[in-house]
Homo-oligomer: A and B are copies of this chain.
Amino acid sequence: MLKVKDIGEFALIEHIAKIVEHADERVILTIGDDTAVVKPTDLDYILLTTDLLVEDVHFTLDTISPWQLGYKSIAVNLSDIAAMGGLPNYGVISLALNPKTNVSTVEDLYRGMADVSRKYDLRIVGGDVTKSDKMIINVAIVGEVEEENLCRRSDAQVEDIIMVTGELGASAAGLRIILNPGLRSKVKDADRLEKAHFLPEPRIREGRILAKLGIHALEDISDGLASEIKHICEASMVGARINLSKVPIARGVEKVAELTGERAIDIALSGGEDYGLVFTAPIEIQKEIEKSFAGIGIKVTAIGEILDKSQGITVVDWSGNVKPLEISGYTHF
């Protein structure tokens, strides 16, 4: 197998440039000069986000394929753009590689990046390639949004309803199967759950619809629903109450929970990387939101309401008891 060290930096960059090429009148100069040169964004504000993934910290090549890794590394950044109500524009990728990496591995990685980028109209216009023992991927993305459509984490208002798109827990349940392959044969939905973990879809379209409908706070569910609700409440200086019986749990999560001795609702609340959207909205537009989402065939569910800060952040369980929401989303260090 041809290795990166056999072809060298410049030939590798040429391979990559061909794979991610996105001929477009917005791109003036792409890979090959000191910087990429692109047309300015059209809308009121630029959105800027970046994300660093390190082998054996965030992923291991034993379980995820290079194509999936490329797809996911871009998708999670696009999800941050969706969480502002915005649109993606341009991306730059840094990659550090062990020189013994197969060239085909690198090509598959960038094919995954190129595929998700084309799907969501992101132009990969530059980057950096260097060496290291472990693979390192950094993605930085420029997006844009209109002033009136910008959805801040701090925009939640007392009496807003809290809603989520899609269903929860699939990615976390998928991860449990990936880490414990013995579970796979026992879970009918294993493939779908693993796919939810490896290939999250950024909810750009949904974010745009919600922003234009006039919702308030918006987040993507990257760290787990409970954590995201806490983020919204802290930033907006409000409280919240979640009705556990309303939380939509993905098919198969119940079965995985049964096998791992957990509760499905805990996987749904604390499991990260679902990359659906959680948002708050005035109750007056709930029907309109539901109608819009029915129109695109995406589930949207009201799961609770925003309360005064003094009420704290609580859940109502199946017996009607009110308890504090436990936060167990992912944190580093």
A25 at the interface (CB under 8 A from B): no
Interface centre among A32, A54, A84, A126 (most CB of B within 10 A): A54
Do residues B39 and A9 form an inter-chain contact, with CB atoms below 8 A? no
Do residues B80 and A35 form an inter-chain contact, with CB atoms below 8 A? yes
Q: Mark A273-316, 1 if CB is under 8 A from B, else 0.
A: 00000000000000000000000000000000000000000000
Smallest CB separation, A40 vs chain B (Å): 5
Provide a sorted-by-A list of 11 A–B residue pairs whose CB atoms are within 8 angstroms. Answer: A34-B80, A37-B47, A37-B48, A39-B45, A40-B40, A40-B144, A49-B126, A52-B130, A58-B130, A96-B136, A129-B332
Cα distance, A97 to B52, chains bound together (Å): 11
Interface centre among A34, A36, A57, A219 (most CB of B within 10 A): A34
- The listed residue (B34, B129, B154) touching A49 by CB distance below 8 A is B34
- Among the stretches A65-73, A145-153, A181-189, A242-250, the one at the interface with B is A145-153
A191 at the interface (CB under 8 A from B): no
The residue of chain B having its C-beta at the shortest distance from the C-beta of A144 within the complex is B40
Cα distance, A135 to B99, chains bound together (Å): 19
A160 at the interface (CB under 8 A from B): no
- Among the stretches A86-94, A163-171, A208-216, the one at the interface with B is A86-94
Cα distance, A273 to B245, chains bound together (Å): 61
* Chain A count of residues within 8 A CB distance of the other chain: 70
Smallest CB separation, A239 vs chain B (Å): 20
Interface residues of A (CB under 8 A from B): 4-5, 8-10, 12, 28-29, 32-41, 43-52, 54, 57-58, 80-81, 83-84, 86, 90, 92-97, 99, 125-132, 134, 136, 138, 140, 142-145, 150, 152-154, 219-220, 235, 331-333
Do residues B12 and A57 form an inter-chain contact, with CB atoms below 8 A? no
Given A49-B34, A92-B48, A333-B8, is A54 in contact with B152 using a C-beta cutoff of 8 Å?
no
Cα distance, A136 to B331, chains bound together (Å): 18
Cα distance, A125 to B154, chains bound together (Å): 17
Interface of A is mostly: strand
Smallest CB separation, A31 vs chain B (Å): 11
Do residues B40 and A45 form an inter-chain contact, with CB atoms below 8 A? yes
Do residues A49 and B35 form an inter-chain contact, with CB atoms below 8 A? yes
Q: Which residues on the B side are within 8 Å of A130 (C-beta)?
A: 52, 54, 57-58, 332
Other 14 A-B pairs with CB < 8 A, given A28-B150, A34-B49: A37-B45, A37-B46, A37-B150, A38-B48, A39-B45, A39-B46, A40-B41, A40-B43, A40-B45, A46-B142, A50-B126, A51-B94, A97-B333, A132-B136
The residue of chain B having its C-beta at the shortest distance from the C-beta of A42 within the complex is B40
Do residues A331 and B145 form an inter-chain contact, with CB atoms below 8 A? no
The residue of chain B having its C-beta at the shortest distance from the C-beta of A127 within the complex is B50
